[in-house]
Amino acid sequence: MISGRIVLLATLASGLFGLAAAQSAEPPRMPGPAPVPRRAHAAEENTRCEGCHADIAAEWRASLHKKAHDDPAYQRALAIEPLPFCRGCHAPEADPMRDPPPELGSLGVACTSCHGDLAHVLAAPRETPRSALHPVARDAAFASASACAHCHEFSFPDPDRRFAPLFMQSTASEHRASPFAGQSCAECHMPLVGEGASKHRSHRFPASRDPALLRASARITASRGGTGAVVVRIEPLALGHAFPTGDLFRRLAIRAEAVGPEQSVLSENVRYLSRRFGRGKGRDGRSIKVLTGDDRVMPGAPTVVTLSLGEKAEGAPILWQVAYERVEHPIEEDSDQAVVEGEVVLAEGTLVPP
Ligand code: HEC
Ligand code: HEC
Ligand code: HEC
Ligand code: HEC
Ligand code: HEC
């Protein structure tokens, strides 16, 4: 059964209304999903940006922002729920009501989606502004989480959510509640690269496909607990939000197994850290999706998980592993049945018997 990103499979129209309602409080002067002010020639305009800003363009072309629409993971998910709501964010340069023409779809989240067009290029304030070959509008908000929040935080789109938003992604609020609230998203995700005059903030935005970054985000250790148990400790490091954050089909998998003679498995156990959803009652008594749990690693304090392997594990070596996983199927249906699209092992080891 499919009960993915949107439970009451909203009609195409209510998908859009949901989006409009979520945004009416604060007009998206900062970058956000479509409908953006329509640019007649977004693809051409973007090619001009790329022509003059070659280093940044090369980084952007290798980023998930550029691939936001052509990304196979997104295309698979869109096939299940082909909503204007989705296209508005993953192909913001095109009309969300229909499949984007290839030249606009392949722009994904483009230079123009974040900076606007050449008549009005949005930029962060600078102590010593350089002269550009086009007008630049500097705005302090663009140097803050506001430059990202309209796309990286949003509710499920069904109309009930207007009164009780249920976040599909909540990276901006997680960031506000973290010890790194004073540091912008860009300070972590757009590090300064290059030398001298070509020094600039990187537009590569690596994250879920970057094993080194994922491994560096937490210090993970394990020890033996009472009667065949393993205690895994995940201490967040420079983590500006939950781990994992972003898309709802992400989780940490903590696995352990006790090993017997000839590599036989005496016992095993697994725990997933993620957001969990269930059913609750909406305003009119109808059944709606609600958040029933969230045990992701939160910045600021370690997460400690104890996995029990039973008495059989007492005198046996225990293998343990913590992995970051991107899964295809809804996590809440059956954790072990989820199809894993991508996995990065963050830490693993063997605990010998005492
Ligand atoms: C004709 C060449 C040219 C084109 C076309 C062009 N730029 Fe620029 N831009 C420059 C130069 C030169 C500067 C100043 C030096 C620098 O910051 O790289 C600049 C500066 C900027 C800055 C400000 C950097 C700062 O000082 O903070 C941003 C942002 C920017 N451009 C984005 C864009 C975007 C987005 C586009 C396409 C809509 C674009 N540019 C098109 C040449 C160009
Ligand atoms: C116009 C909407 C939009 C804006 C604005 C935006 N993003 Fe994104 N971002 C996306 C989408 C859509 C994706 C997912 C693309 C995909 O994988 O399909 C994404 C992906 C990412 C990723 C990669 C996630 C991964 O799984 O590896 C990072 C990191 C990221 N964004 C950070 C930022 C930061 C930081 C800002 C602000 C400086 C920002 N984004 C602004 C829409 C946006
Ligand atoms: C996901 C949003 C996003 C996309 C896509 C994006 N930018 Fe940026 N860009 C930013 C933000 C945010 C900053 C300012 C970061 C800061 O200084 O806090 C920035 C900074 C810049 C700067 C100044 C960099 C520096 O440090 O001197 C230039 C130039 C620029 N962008 C050009 C481009 C071009 C050209 C493209 C497309 C190839 C592009 N950007 C795509 C969000 C984006
Ligand atoms: C203190 C540094 C820091 C700050 C600030 C920060 N991030 Fe991250 N971000 C990380 C690290 C480390 C990871 C990799 C671990 C993870 O996935 O959570 C990451 C991962 C991500 C991902 C990948 C999703 C995933 O699978 O977890 C997205 C999207 C993202 N960040 C967006 C943002 C946005 C948007 C902001 C601002 C609202 C932000 N980040 C602020 C450090 C930071
Ligand atoms: C308001 C903006 C927004 C809307 C609406 C939106 N997304 Fe996303 N989506 C994002 C951002 C931002 C990310 C990146 C976060 C991350 O990587 O964890 C993302 C990531 C994803 C990913 C993971 C991509 C990957 O390669 O790992 C899938 C799949 C996805 N979205 C599908 C959808 C579908 C299907 C819909 C409609 C039901 C939708 N999205 C609606 C902003 C949006």
Write down all domains in the chain, each with its CATH number in brackets. Answer: 12-201 (no CATH), 211-351 (2.60.40)
pLDDT at 9: 33
pLDDT at 335: 72
Tokens of 118: 């050449």
Question: How many Å apart are CA 259 and CA 244, to the nearest integer?
Answer: 30
pTM of the model as a whole: 0.94
pLDDT at 354: 82
For the Cβ of 176 lying below 6 angstroms from any atom of ligand 2, the answer is no
Residue 7 phi/psi, 5-degree rounding, is -85, -60
Q: What is the pLDDT along the chain (354 residues), one digit of tens a residue?
A: 333 454 333 333 333 333 333 333 444 489 999 876 666 789 999 999 999 999 999 999 999 999 999 999 999 999 998 999 999 999 999 999 999 999 999 999 999 999 998 888 999 999 888 888 999 999 999 999 999 999 999 998 877 676 678 899 999 999 999 999 999 999 999 999 999 989 999 999 999 999 999 999 999 999 999 889 999 999 999 999 999 999 999 999 999 999 999 999 999 999 999 999 888 887 778 888 889 999 999 999 999 999 999 999 999 999 999 999 999 866 555 677 888 999 999 999 999 998
Listed residue (11, 37, 55, 36) closest to 202, CA to CA: 55
Distance 152 CA to ligand 2 centre (A): 7
pLDDT at 85: 95
For the Cβ of 117 lying below 6 angstroms from any atom of ligand 1, the answer is yes
Residue 82 phi/psi, 5-degree rounding, is -80, 75
Question: How many Å apart are CA 97 and CA 82, to the nearest integer?
Answer: 10
pLDDT at 16: 36
pLDDT at 10: 33
Listed residue (198, 239, 193) closest to 216, CA to CA: 239
For the Cβ of 111 lying below 6 angstroms from any atom of ligand 3, the answer is yes
| Residue with CA closest to ligand 1 atom 33 | 49
Q: What would the 3-class secondary structure string for 208-256 be?
A: CCCHHHHHHCEEEEEEECCCCEEEEEEEECCCCCCECCCCCCEEEEEEE
pLDDT at 26: 42
Strands 218-224 and 229-236: antiparallel
Question: How many Å apart are CA 204 and CA 239, to the nearest integer?
Answer: 18
pLDDT at 158: 77
pLDDT at 285: 80
Q: Which helix (H) or strand (E) holds 295?
A: none
What is the identity of the amino acid at 330?
A: P
For the Cβ of 148 lying below 6 angstroms from any atom of ligand 2, the answer is yes
| Cis peptide, bond prior to residue 35, ω within 30 of zero | yes
Distance 246 CA to ligand 1 centre (A): 29
pLDDT at 334: 60
What is the identity of the amino acid at 173?
A: S
pLDDT at 328: 85
For the Cβ of 147 lying below 6 angstroms from any atom of ligand 3, the answer is yes
Strands 265-273 and 275-281: unpaired
